Copies of this chain bind each other. A is one copy, B any other.
Amino acid sequence: MSSFRAQKMAKKKQEILRSAAAVLVEKGYQGTTMEEIAAKLLMTKGSMYYYFKNKDDLLYQCHLMIMEICLDGIEEVIDSNLTPVEKLRSAIKEHILLATSEKSMFMALSKPNHSFSEKQLQEVLELRKRYSHYFDRIIHEGIDKQVFCPVDVKMVRLIILGALNWIQEWYDQNGPQSAEEISEAYASYLLKMLMVVKG
């Protein structure tokens, strides 16, 4: 019955979340204003409160949405039949494409500064941990199959994700190199870090 209404509301929520994500990534948590989020959609800030309890709630759900997209991407890679090398390459490329095009990543909530409730914070941290864990699994698999040399998995994962996440700091849509080129280069250089030296 009212599923039509419900759908419409859900769609509007999505729009708002997308707009919020864009501002969030560009301006950071403190710099994101309800007004700017609304303005992008030709709405007034007051009407945001019809869809979300408050700013924190909005930005929290924004994080959930972003993380969900990321997780969907890497889970597809994990479940594929690719070799560890190709899995890692895919995961890296996927991450970069998301970070540059979709322009949203877990960056904004880097440090747990926000006024998120403890429950919200734990949820976001949990999703992030799950994402990191998938990278660890790929690396482990590679080591087991002896296509990657034995390394401190956590350290290498931190290096990789650090390098990837930093891209948003300098990436420019109109810059000389496309996201595609960047991701190719990043994947090959980062993989080299893990390659066994064939004598």
- Which residues of chain A have a CB within 8 Å of any CB of chain B? 26-31, 110-111, 113, 151-152, 155-156, 158-167, 169-170, 182, 185-186, 189-190, 192-193, 197-199
Contact of A155 with B193 at beta-carbon distance under 8 Å, contacts A28-B113, A162-B167, A166-B163 already known? no
CA distance A199 to B163 in the complex (A): 29
Specify which of B28, B29, B192 is in contact with A192 (CB 8 Å cutoff).
B192
Nearest residue, chain B, Cβ from A132: B170
Contacts of A29 in B (CB 8 A): 28, 30-31
Chain B nearest CB from A156 CB (Å) reads 6
Considering only CB atoms, which chain B residue lies closest to A32 in the complex? B30
Chain B: which residue is nearest A166 at the CB level? B162
CB-CB under 8 A from A163, the residues of chain B are: 158-160, 162-163, 166
Give Cα A30–Cα B30 distance, bound, in whole angstroms. 5
Contacts A165-B166, A169-B110; A28 near B27 (Cβ below 8 A): no
Instruction: Specify which chain B residues have a CB less than 8 angstroms from the CB of A151 in the assembled complex.
Output: 189
Tell me whether B26 and A113 are in contact (CB under 8 A). yes
Q: A167 contacts which chain B residues (CB < 8 A)? A: 158, 162
Which of A27, A186, A189 gathers the greatest number of chain B CB atoms within 10 Å? Answer: A189
Contacts of A165 in B (CB 8 A): 162, 166, 169
Judge whether B166 and A186 touch: CB under 8 Å. no
In the bound complex, do residue B189 and residue A155 qualify as a contact, i.e. CB atoms below 8 Å apart?
A: yes
* Max chain B C-beta neighbours (<10 A), residue from A113, A160, A193: A193
Measured between alpha carbons, how far is A182 from B162 in the docked complex, in Å? 13
Most buried by B among A26, A151, A169, A170: A169
Q: Nearest chain B CB to A32's CB is how many angstroms away?
A: 9
Please list the 9 inter-chain residue pairs (A to B) with the smallest Cβ-Cβ separation, ordered nearest first: A162-B166, A30-B30, A162-B163, A159-B163, A30-B31, A163-B163, A110-B169, A155-B185, A193-B193
